[in-house]
Homo-oligomer: A and B are copies of this chain.
Amino acid sequence: MTVDAHPIADLPNPADYGFTVIERQELPADLLTLVDRVRELVDAVAHTEADPAELAAASRTVSELTERLGARRRPVGAMTRQDWEGGRVDYNTLANAVSGVTNPVAPLRNLRVEDGGLRAETTLNGAYEGPPGLVHGGWVAALLDQVLGETSAVFGRMGLTANLTVDYRRPTPLNTPLTVVSRITGVERRKVFVSGEIRCAGEITAEGSAIMVRVAIPEV
């Protein structure tokens, strides 16, 4: 199987389609700090046993914050550029639910090229729970979907997921370092075949495979 890496010139620039593209270095460090703090808040709220008066006061504070922070809002689909090893380029929405740098709930931050594929580590807190103490099966699928999709974009073609299949081999624990890896396994016309897995302490907890289909970027 041969995978043709796409030349940079072949990658559509979202700015040409009317999307806002923001360089990572333009994002204030204070924003990235706030994103991390809100991730911790989500977990705290999901598990809090604070008394009603404390909860009501917190709601008021959060409403005020939302109003202030929401007063200036990025346009829908604002993207940032990711430069990968080997001159590859990729774009992702800043708010991407799984790897967006400004999304407080996105748990994937350190995706990188390794061994001809992509690799990332993450640790999911209690906000990602499904069964007691375990990562939700939907989040297992979401981690795989994002990494498989980015692998397709970086090594094959930008595309949307057409099919995602996940085999759950053993429970994936919360609050424990996880590794996600993926690689291209085939290319056929507009389809890119990608597979990957999640590992915990060296053991595979879930395997995923996806068919990504190259699509035109929609006009805004």
Contacts and interface: CB of A to CB of B under 8 A. Distances in A.
B54 A69 contact: yes
Interface stretch (A3-11, A38-46, A114-122): A38-46
A105 B102 contact: no
Contact of A164 (B40, B66, B100, B166): B166
Interface in A48-71: 48-56, 58-59, 61-63, 65-66, 68-71
Contacts of A189: none
Given A59-B30, A163-B168, A129 B65 contact: no
Contact of A104 (B46, B72, B163): B46
Interface residues of A, number: 88
A186 interface: no
Contacts of A31: 48, 50, 52, 55
Contacts of A103: 42, 46, 127, 129
Given A48-B69, A50-B71, A38 B55 contact: no
A141 interface: yes
Nearest to A75: B47
A190 interface: no
A98 interface: yes
A146 B142 contact: no
A203 interface: no
Interface of A: 14, 19, 28-31, 33-35, 37-38, 40-42, 44-56, 58-59, 61-63, 65-66, 68-74, 76-79, 93-98, 100, 102-105, 126-133, 136-139, 141-146, 149, 160-168, 171, 174, 218, 220
